[in-house]
Chain A
């Protein structure tokens, strides 16, 4: 299975720029997607196919990368962005998720 590695946690101040990384154990082309999950809620799609903003998602969110290295950027961060962020690849079977990055606001 393709392993996706994310840093476990980040703490930033509102108004700052934050980048969340996801590294794949093998190439996933651009079939990488990012989700936000707040406590007690289901995940929601933020970015699909590495860099495409899902409809209704604020333009503060952006994604980049291809192959094995991907980044989710939030700029500027707002208090409401406190959540866990997951990457997911759908290039290799089975689909796999990263372990999640918990974003906390200072």
Chain B
């Protein structure tokens, strides 16, 4: 069974940083592109970015590029999202996703909730 489990979410003060992790199991992690998607409360889905199998290509939605850094550790089957200079607009559920052929996301984690507030 394909499983993605995010961790590291919580309450963080404005201007601070936070790093999310996504533990993958049930598939060959190093064969897939992986990505992050977020969803603000009551809002739609927003693509953050994606990383290829060997981390040689990392793409971001341009408006979010300065705030987020995506990385992965294939030995640990783990995907990461480093978030910096957080503001209230970054309050959201952050989903880890597996990207399959053609760019579809065919597996999603349950999401990590991040609340930015003083």
Contact = CB atoms under 8 A, between A and B. Distances in A.
Interface in A51-101: 54, 86, 88, 90-91, 93-100
A54 B114 CA distance: 30
B2 to A, nearest CB: 11
Q: Please report whether the interface of chain A is mostly helix, strand, loop or mixed according to DSSP.
A: loop
Interface residues of B, number: 23
B61 interface: yes
Contacts, number: 63
Given A1-B61, A42-B109, A42-B110, A97 B104 contact: no
Q: Please report whether the interface of chain B is mostly helix, strand, loop or mixed according to DSSP.
A: strand
A97 B50 contact: no
B103 A100 contact: no
Q: How large, as a class, is the contact surface on chain A?
A: 20 to 34
B95 A48 contact: no
A86 B44 contact: yes
30 contacts: A1-B61, A1-B62, A33-B103, A33-B104, A33-B105, A42-B95, A42-B108, A42-B110, A43-B45, A43-B108, A45-B104, A45-B105, A48-B100, A48-B104, A49-B102, A49-B104, A54-B106, A86-B44, A90-B104, A91-B103, A94-B47, A94-B60, A95-B35, A95-B50, A95-B61, A95-B103, A97-B45, A97-B46, A99-B44, A100-B45
